Amino acid sequence: MKKCVIIGIAGGSASGKTSLAKRLAKTYSSTNSVLIIRQDDYYKDQCDITMEDRLKVNYDHPLAFDNDFLAHQLRELASGQTILKPTYDFAQYTRAQEVEKIEPSDVIVVEGLFILEDPLIRSICDIKIFVDTPADVRFIRRLKRDVRDRGRTMENVMDQYMNTVRVMHETFIEPSKRYADVIVPEGGKNEVAVDLLTTKIDSIIHTNVL
C-alpha cells in the first residue's frame, strides 16, 4: 500500500494558511496527488440550537471544532478509504446539509487554526507547518474576507476580533508555533517556502510511484 503523507498547516485567522494549501494543490492539479482538508468544515453542528444561541458561541476556541471526527476521517483517508466530509454554512453558523465525497490521495494537506494546538491531530501529521503573519495584516484580511464571503458586517467582524479572536490567538494559536517543523512567513506568497514544500511533495509522490 502506498504511503500517504499528511501535512498540517496552522496559523492565525487570515494568516495565509488556505492560500499556501491552494498553492501546493494547484501545482499538482493535473495529477490529483494533493488533497486539501479544511478544519473549518469540522465546526460542530449547531442545528439543534437557535440562531441567538449560535451567535453567542466562541468560534475561535478549540472546543468549537469536532477535532475527534476530523482525526477519524484523516485516518480513514490515510488508510485508503473514501470519506463523506462535512461542510459548513458560515452565514447560518452551523453544518450545511451537503457533504463532499473525498477520495484518498498521496498527500493530504489539512489546514486550520488549531491543527498544531490539538495533540491528536498533531500526532497524525507527518509534516507540521505554522504560517506566521503580522496581526495587522491578518485583521485586514479577515475583515475583507468575512464581509465579502461570509455575510458578516464590518461591526460584527471588529467586535468578534476584539472580544475573542485576538485573545484566542494569543492563548491557543501562537503558542502552538513551537510544535512546527517549519515556520512560513506570509503563507502562499512565500515563494521560497512553496518551492521547498513542493520539492518534498515531489519526493513523496516519486516514492509512491516506485
Q: Where are the beta strands (DSSP E) in the chain?
A: 5-11, 34-38, 83-89, 94-102, 107-111, 127-132, 182-185
Residue 207: inside a domain, yes or no? no
Residue 194: inside a domain, yes or no? no
Give per-residue pLDDT as tens, 56-95: 999 999 999 999 999 999 999 999 999 999 999 988 999 9
Domain that holds residue 41: 5-185
Residue 57: inside a domain, yes or no? yes
- Round the CA-based radius of gyration of the chain to a whole number and report it: 17
Residue 85: inside a domain, yes or no? yes
Residue 76: inside a domain, yes or no? yes
Whether 194 contacts 20, CB under 8 Å: yes
Q: Indicate if the alpha-carbon torsion angle 188, 194, 197, 199 is positive or negative.
A: positive
Indicate the pTM of the whole model: 0.88
Report which of 124, 144, 128 is spatially closest to residue 178, judged by C-alpha positions: 128
Give per-residue pLDDT as tens, 85-143: 999 998 899 999 999 999 999 889 999 999 999 999 999 999 999 999 999 999 999 99
CATH number at residue 16: 3.40.50.300
Residue 203: inside a domain, yes or no? no
Number of domains composing the chain: 1
